A and B are shown apart, each in its own frame.
Chain A
Amino acid sequence: KQEVTQIPAALSVPEGENLVLNCSFTDSAIYNLQWFRQDPGKGLTSLLLIQSSQREQTSGRLNASLDKSSGRSTLYIAASQPGDSATYLCAVSFRDDKIIFGKGTRLHILP
């Protein structure tokens, strides 16, 4: 069964710190991987998409890496800010259509 797991489920860090969110998946034959942000009661905002042939993507203070052989991805957030507080979801496409999501990591940045 294809599954996506995110650890930790929740994380609180002081403002200004760098942090890493982890995502693991059971099948290395992925199509692509996306990281999303979700604010409470809201929809999903796409942060980064990594194609299966890529190893990382960067956008501003965010960097996502992909290691297919080990079935892992990380989302690195530099110099965290209170506005980064949200749930971060990892989503894996094992084919070119539907996405399988992890349960997310709830991030709280302490001012």
Chain B
Amino acid sequence: DTGVSQDPRHKITKRGQNVTFRCDPISEHNRLYWYRQTLGQGPEFLTYFQNEAQLEKSRLLSDRFSAERPKGSFSTLEIQRTEQGDSAMYLCASSLPISGRSYNEQFFGPGTRLTVL
């Protein structure tokens, strides 16, 4: 399977614990995105990388959230001191923008569902 993969698929944790999620993009894609989706809502942008550089972070990404893409391949999203409001589906996407064309189709992974008790 050469699509975007995410691990774990489900995570249940107690409030106050730290959690880390991993995303492996499509191999040739240089952009990687993180989104958060709560029940009944569309996904909301959190942050994105071009290669290893983090180019934008949403206001939704509080100080407890940190994302990395150290080698420009896989990415991790860490949430420290989790709160019940962090419960959501965390989605990863990747893309390969084509210079000069309005393309940049994003391909999504299956998501990691986080439940904070």
A side interface size, CB within 8 A: 27
Q: Distance (Å) between the CB of A64 and the closest chain B CB?
A: 13
Contact B102 A43 (CB under 8 A): no
- Which residues of chain B are near A49, meaning CB under 8 Å? 103, 105
Q: Distance (Å) between the CB of A108 and the closest chain B CB?
A: 15
Taking Cβ atoms with an 8 Å cutoff, the residues of B that contact A are 6, 31, 33, 35, 40-45, 48, 55-56, 89, 91, 93, 97, 101-111, 113
Contacts A43-B91, A43-B108 given; indicate if A101 touches B43 (C-beta within 8 A): yes
Q: Does A34 contact B (CB under 8 A)?
A: yes
Partner among A44, A97, A104 whose Cβ is within 8 Å of the Cβ of B104: A97
Q: Does A51 contact B (CB under 8 A)?
A: yes
- Which residues of chain A are near B31, meaning CB under 8 Å? 97
Q: Mark A74-111, 1 if CB is under 8 A from B, else 0.
A: 00000000000000010101001111111110000000
Cα A103 to Cα B44 in complex, Å, equals 10
Contact B102 A101 (CB under 8 A): no
Q: Distance (Å) between the CB of A62 and the closest chain B CB?
A: 15
